[in-house]
Structure 1
Amino acid sequence: MIFMKQSTKLINNIFKTEIKNIHLSAKRKEAVNLAYQVLEDERTKKSTANPIIISHGVIGQSLNWKSVSKCLFEELDPPRKIYVVDNRNHGNSPHTSDHTYELMTEDTLQLYSTLGLKEAVLLGHSMGGRGFMHTALTYPEKASSLIIVDISPIVRKDEGVVLSEPLQLLKAAATIDWSEQCGTMSDARKYADNELKKQKIDSPGLRSFLLQNLKQNPDGSFGWKINLPTLIDRFFNFKAINFENLVYDKSVLFVAGEKSPFVPKSHAEPIKKIFPKARIEYVPDAGHLVHMENTPLFCKFVIDFLKNEK
């Protein structure tokens, strides 16, 4: 994929800027003010196309979407402003004692208020995808279209088994003792990686994904950006969805990994009862992190879909 040199430089500068987390006096009940990255330039300021809001999955953060957001920002025609959020209990957003899809919708609506948005394209992965499904189904006027990444609105009978891997990852992270750890971020990553191996987290990819959440505090100590106690305690809220009798009748794109268990082809018919205009695309040889495993094809699906979106 070809990127314009000027735009690439602009994107790099944008992602180095300070993350915004604006406080409003007129705050929605129980909502938090989400930290977010924004991609914009003179082209997007002149564009009338709806912006895109991107929401990551559990254990993720806005920086995981840097490559995708850069691709979409440079390739979409008409151009669109892109916001990439850190969800509550993740990244640079506030930590809270609860985490539900209803609360995520409140956070999204608070973000709309912060940014002065009336309508946007909502693009969400996994937990972020189900959160945005809830937003679109309960406030359809807020979502001009929906892009859902490797998650289904249908709860599998074995979903507890399917979700066991990320839960194991969170519990393993919670066992790491940072009290005696000092030195550089590189030292901390090596230490945490070895501790995760001891906890039988055998996948280098999973360990690397989790370790992106390491942070160094002002006093030099280390810890996690993610709110481990809440995410572990409320983990099975991530399968607590009930979209019965709800319908969103605007355009929806599902992009799933062919090797992922989260959007089985048997879900196509029940998905279309909730999202009658849904289109489902599978990325060959990709798993749950489909947007990271094949970014060019993922972006192509999204760009083609948005050609017909206002």
Structure 2
Amino acid sequence: MNLLHSTIIGDSGRDLLILHGFLGMGDNWKTHAKGWAAMGYRVHLIDQRNHGRSFWSDKFSYKSMVEDLAHYCQVNEVKRPILLGHSMGGKTVMQYACTYPERVSTFIVADIAPKAYTSHHQLILNGLAALDFSQIKTRNQANEALSVYVKDENTRQFLLKNIYWETPEKLGLRININILKNASEVIGEGLDANAQSSVPCLFLKGGNSEYILNQDHLIIQHHFPNAEIKEIAAAGHWLHAEQPTIFFQQVNAWLNSGV
């Protein structure tokens, strides 16, 4: 079985595993990871399948990502870690806690609910799939090509982190766009109605985000009866990037509460 790529920051302490969102990578969380490592945690920045430096696979589902995480923990002898997941990573974390509750001490979910979401990534995916690296020779050219599909500059800069030099002369994408471009429905899937976990957990929502609505609190409590839900004001879906200090403090307060 293939092993997920990770960057581990910190030599000892409680294991904190971070799972990125759709089209992201573990490196997106490096600043936060250094902060937690300085506080005594061993932080694992994990690239999920078809993302970052992890392996590519034709199979792409939350079930497969849960098993990837279980295999990673087994190989690295990680027992009952803290899990933190944003968006797609949050869905993986939720599914893992329902499948293997005895293997998790606590988990934090950043701005995603256990419900199903309608597809809304397709224009971005079409733009990434349209990048022709036989013609695109610089990151600026890639940015210009992507701007036809993605108008927001901050979103483009996030997406362009997936571009790297395959060879000294040729750019490429770290993500497996041929699989991910058809994965919008998979990403939006909700938890099974009967999935539950009593593991203590924290849901953090962005005050300006519509990913977790007030009516979603009931479905969160249905699946996770020991969940707390907190809001970070003046933050959207990328709450950890838009309000990094407050996000860091909220996670620390939860971890210091005895979970």
TM-score range, shorter chain: over 0.9
Tell me, which stretches of 5 or more residues in structure 2 are unaligned? Answer: none
1:189 aligns with 2:153: no
Deviation at residue 248 of structure 1 after TM alignment: 1.1
Check whether the contact 2:91–2:112 (CA below 8 A) recurs between aligned residues. Answer: yes
Rounded to whole Å, the distance in 2 between the matches of 1:219 and 1:302 is: 40
1:278 aligns with 2:227: yes
Deviation at residue 181 of structure 1 after TM alignment: 3.3
Q: How does 1:102-117 map to 2 (within 5 A)?
A: 102-117=63-78
Q: How does 1:168-247 map to 2 (within 5 A)?
A: 168-182=123-137, 188-199=138-149, 201-247=150-196
Secondary structure of the residue that 1:233 maps to in structure 2?
coil
Structure index of larger Rg: 1
Check whether the contact 2:115–2:189 (CA below 8 A) recurs between aligned residues. Answer: no
Tell me, which stretches of 5 or more residues in structure 1 are unaligned? Answer: 1-26, 183-187
Q: Tell me the amino acid that sits aligned with residue 226 of structure 1.
A: I
Secondary structure of the residue that 1:93 maps to in structure 2?
coil
Deviation at residue 235 of structure 1 after TM alignment: 2.1
1:287 aligns with 2:233: no
Rounded to whole Å, the distance in 1 between the matches of 2:148 and 2:191 is: 38
Match of 1:51 in 2: 15
Deviation at residue 179 of structure 1 after TM alignment: 0.7
Q: Tell me the amino acid that sits aligned with residue 138 of structure 1.
A: T
1:38 aligns with 2:8: yes
Rounded to whole Å, the distance in 2 between the matches of 1:90 and 1:114 is: 20
Q: How does 1:109-148 map to 2 (within 5 A)?
A: 109-148=70-109
Rounded to whole Å, the distance in 2 between the matches of 1:103 and 1:265 is: 30
Rounded to whole Å, the distance in 2 between the matches of 1:298 and 1:234 is: 29
Q: Tell me the amino acid that sits aligned with residue 63 of structure 1.
A: D
Please give the per-residue CA displacement for 1:26-54, whole angstroms capped at 9, x wherever unaligned.
x4xxxx3110010113xx2xx4xx31100
Rounded to whole Å, the distance in 1 between the matches of 2:141 and 2:196 is: 48
Secondary structure of the residue that 2:181 maps to in structure 1?
helix
Secondary structure of the residue that 1:265 maps to in structure 2?
coil
Match of 2:253 in 1: 304
Rounded to whole Å, the distance in 1 between the matches of 2:45 and 2:27 is: 8
Q: Tell me the amino acid that sits aligned with residue 20 of structure 2.
A: H
Match of 1:7 in 2: none
Identity %: 29
Secondary structure of the residue that 1:89 maps to in structure 2?
coil
Rounded to whole Å, the distance in 2 between the matches of 1:80 and 1:141 is: 20
Deviation at residue 219 of structure 1 after TM alignment: 4.9
Rounded to whole Å, the distance in 2 between the matches of 1:180 and 1:126 is: 33
Check whether the contact 2:129–2:181 (CA below 8 A) recurs between aligned residues. Answer: no
Match of 2:35 in 1: 71
With the length of structure 1 as denominator, give the TM-score of the two structures: 0.80
Rounded to whole Å, the distance in 2 between the matches of 1:221 and 1:174 is: 16
Rounded to whole Å, the distance in 2 between the matches of 1:264 and 1:102 is: 25
Check whether the contact 2:136–2:142 (CA below 8 A) recurs between aligned residues. Answer: no
Q: Tell me the amino acid that sits aligned with residue 34 of structure 2.
A: K
Secondary structure of the residue that 1:198 maps to in structure 2?
coil
Number of residue pairs aligned between Structure 1 and Structure 2: 259
Secondary structure of the residue that 2:167 maps to in structure 1?
coil
Higher fraction of helix: 1
